[in-house]
Amino acid sequence: MVKAHLQTGTVIDGFVVGELLHKGGMARLWKVTRQGADEPLLMKVPVLQEGEDPAAIVSFEMEQMILPRLKGPHVPRFVANGGFDRQPYVVMEQIAGTSLLPMLESLPRKPEEVAGLAEKIAVALDSLHGQRVVHLDIKPSNIMFRPSGEAVIIDYGLSRHLDLPDLMAEEFRLPYGTAPYMAPEQVLGIRHDTRSDLFALGVLMYFFATGERPFGDPQRLKGLQRRIWDDPQPPRLLNPAIHLWLQEIILRCLEVNAARRYPSASQLRFDLLHPSQVTLTKRAHKERRDSFFERLRRKSEPLRSLVDHPPSPAAGLAQAPIVAIAIDLDNLPEDVSAALRQTAQRIIERTPESRIACLNVQKLSRITIDQSLDEEGHSRHVQRIVKLQHWARGLGLAESRLSFHVLEALDPAEAILDYARANTVDHILIGARDNSAMRKFLGSVSGRVAAEAPCTVTVARSRKPQL
């Protein structure tokens, strides 16, 4: 029999109910213990009182379906659940860290801190999206940080799992979410686009960097719809300390049309990690809101024409990989370089939203002191960047899709592998040099990268003419 009210000391399926930790609009959070369980546990129980929002039951059903399917450090570990026939509940680990909520008392935060927080959240979103879940309620109270530093996303009551029925969409016509953070397409009832979470992260960055919400806190549908045509104040207008690159990132996340945002959380994270590589557009230099007439023009257009119908999420993520091309500027034969470029072009054609990172490793000496300048006083690092840019011209890509990185290391293979791990690279493309007795004895950089990389590796070779 479902209990209308729980209290301390109640025992449910072996779990002893302890302190009430949180009383929300749709659910309560209780601290629970169980014999043999050493880690702190939470029990989430839906509000089932007379007159409560029926969405509380449906959203709880969604969380019961989604949470057991999630894995990794960026989600609470699922322990157990109970059905509505007796007592609905979900038991999960209690995250030891804190949420972003207390930070709201001291806004704005420094731009570098905002970027650092957003980068960690983007890692968590990338993991979540890779498990085919769109969260749809990213906000400070739903972001926690473990003592080890990883961001943890909680509360999946409004989420959409792409392999499960969307009960929220099936049973309700009004959009559900937290008003300040809802993406325009959510307002229009579209619930399967992972880029909706990137919009919410853009709102969070804007709020933390300026101290103001970009779209206020509307309480009615008409107020929510304003974000489809009414652009926010540029962040730098409210806080001049915000860097141009950070304004570029924030406003790109807040684009009305999801197609103009970052195609994936991993690409957003890449820019947050490499601010010097961010391509600055008109967004970065924007000093005021759009004119009254521009906003009026957008308002007069049919609402759905302002938001592209999103592709299937699986296809969208597959078309937006981060591809690292490792280029040996010192010893790569021209025919292998050409094969490397041709292979890269084929990958680019198949993945129209891909981000290309051109890498070169400047090998350091174990014995002598390396000189940063050549005999003429020019920076060796800058020269390599220029060579990488020259090599990439043949790819015919826009600057916004390219970045260039010179890594200094004793071990070139390890440097490439470290870069791939740190930047969640999806595909490494590397050239194979000619065989030699020494290379067979010592092993090759491409061979080691292919053996140890955390992602797909393609080794490009030139075709040797048959004799």
> What is the CA angle 422-250-427, rounded to 5?
30
371: β partners: none
Instruction: Assess whether pLDDT exceeds 80 at residue 397.
Output: yes
User: Which domains are delineated in the chain?
Assistant: 11-93 (3.30.200.20), 98-317 (1.10.510.10), 321-368+376-460 (3.40.50.620)
Q: State the pLDDT at residue 127.
A: 97
Banded model confidence at residue 460, pLDDT cuts 50, 70, 90 = confident
Candidate ranges 203-217, 415-429, 441-455; pick with highest mean pLDDT: 203-217
Instruction: Assess whether pLDDT exceeds 60 at residue 82.
Output: yes
Q: State the pLDDT at residue 438.
A: 40
Instruction: Assess whether pLDDT exceeds 60 at residue 315.
Output: no
Instruction: Assess whether pLDDT exceeds 50 at residue 1.
Output: no
Banded model confidence at residue 49, pLDDT cuts 50, 70, 90 = low
Instruction: Assess whether pLDDT exceeds 80 at residue 377.
Output: no
> What DSSP assignment string belongs to 301-360?
S-GGGGSPPPPPHHHHHHTS-EEEEE--TTT--HHHHHHHHHHHHHHHHH-TT-EEEEEE
- Stated length of the chain: 467
CB 113, CB 124: distance < 8 Å: no
Instruction: Assess whether pLDDT exceeds 50 at residue 291.
Output: yes
Q: How far apart are CA 256 and CA 117, in angstroms?
A: 23
Q: State the pLDDT at residue 336.
A: 86
Task: Quick: pLDDT tens for 208-254.
Answer: 999 999 999 998 888 898 888 889 999 999 999 999 999 999 999 99
Q: State the pLDDT at residue 368.
A: 52
Q: State the pLDDT at residue 317.
A: 66
% of the chain exceeding 90 in pLDDT: 57
Segment 178-194 shows an average pLDDT of 93
Instruction: Assess whether pLDDT exceeds 80 at residue 269.
Output: yes
Q: State the pLDDT at residue 307.
A: 57
The mean of the pLDDT values for the chain is: 87
Segment 91-101 shows an average pLDDT of 92
Banded model confidence at residue 308, pLDDT cuts 50, 70, 90 = low
Phi-psi category of residue 36: left, alpha or beta, with phi > 0 → left and psi -120 to 50 → alpha: left
Banded model confidence at residue 3, pLDDT cuts 50, 70, 90 = low
Between 401 and 213, the higher pLDDT residue: 213
CB 323, CB 356: distance < 8 Å: yes
Instruction: Assess whether pLDDT exceeds 70 at residue 133.
Output: yes
Q: State the pLDDT at residue 466.
A: 47
CB 18, CB 31: distance < 8 Å: yes
Tokens 């009004």 belong to 174
Q: State the pLDDT at residue 441.
A: 42
Burial 321-343 (b: 16+ CB within 10 A, else e): bbbbbbbbbeebeeebbebbbeb
Banded model confidence at residue 381, pLDDT cuts 50, 70, 90 = confident
Can you give the C-alpha Rg of the chain in angstroms?
Answer: 25
Q: State the pLDDT at residue 209.
A: 98
Phi, psi of 189 (to 5 degrees): 90, 5
Q: State the pLDDT at residue 367.
A: 56
